Structure 1
């Protein structure tokens, strides 16, 4: 991760918002639902294999290209992003 202060101003002025957002991606996230499951006696309502089958079926029916027509990966400037990391 590049600190925003380390990016030259001429590049910073033209960076896409998702690159210069003040997000902190340095922390690790580890979750454990054991306590929740104990306190609320939570059990999965759908077996894992069935849940995966349903998820795959839903994803095939709701393809990202149809849901996110405005996103065009060919317009992502990876070379520009690489230059930022080389400074």
Structure 2
């Protein structure tokens, strides 16, 4: 999977329902340096809407996202 961005930290929120994947992603991003990339893995379909909206509102960049067999993966670059 060479087309996926490198990440500085990884967060697995599999099995958690909305809004927990978003809250955990937000908490994981807080201590990270500006420009660092967080990879988030989720199984909640609502995470697609939540993380896209969060990135837009908070000024973070959603570099890449995948959805495969009910697993949603996001790469967020911290603003």
- Give yes or no for TM over 0.5: no
TM-score (norm 2): 0.25
Structure with max Cα Rg: 1
Which has more helix, going by share of residues?
A: 1
Select the structure with the greater relative contact order (CA < 8 A; seq sep ≥ 6): 1
